[in-house]
Amino acid sequence: MAPLKRLVETKSLNTSRLAELLKNKSAVYLNYDPAFDAVMLLFVSPDVETVVHYIDDQIALLYEPDSLEVVGIQIESFKRSFLLAHANVAKVWRLSDTGVSMKDLDDLIIGVEQRKPAVAREIVKVTQDTLGFHKNLSPVPA
């Protein structure tokens, strides 16, 4: 099968919203689809139209078609292979590593909400490693 032709070059994508997210630790939309084994991390409402731009065989940037602004990241084969290859993401993904006792549904909901920024941060680190440092996107601090 022939490689997919990209609509735009990766270097043409804007990452200012992603950089802002890292500075301000803004809210993110995080969804895992078990049937597809994919995680979608969005910095905008899920209703916003996006284009999928693969940067390797598992990781795709999601960008707005008009502005070319990166507004999300999609990772396929998330549990099957991505977590196995990225221990830091796996660690923040596991609720058992929170140290919080999960007695009720509210404990679970709170645990998930508290973990979202850490999961987003680790996913962005991996994405940066794959992309190399890009334009106005500063490295995520350790």
Structure tokens at 134: 């890009």
Residue 97, pLDDT score: 66
Task: Give how far the C-alpha of residue 26 lies from the chain's centroid of Cα atoms, to the nearest Å.
Answer: 13
Domains of the chain: which residue ranges? Answer: 10-131
| Distance from C-alpha of 51 to C-alpha of 65, rounded to nearest angstrom | 6
Residue 106, pLDDT score: 85
| Distance from C-alpha of 58 to C-alpha of 9, rounded to nearest angstrom | 18
| Distance from C-alpha of 68 to C-alpha of 46, rounded to nearest angstrom | 17
Spans of the chain, pLDDT less than 70: 1-5, 21-27, 97-100, 129-142
Phi, psi of 3 (to 5 degrees): -65, 150
| Distance from C-alpha of 25 to C-alpha of 48, rounded to nearest angstrom | 20
Phi, psi of 74 (to 5 degrees): -120, 135
Global confidence as pTM: 0.79
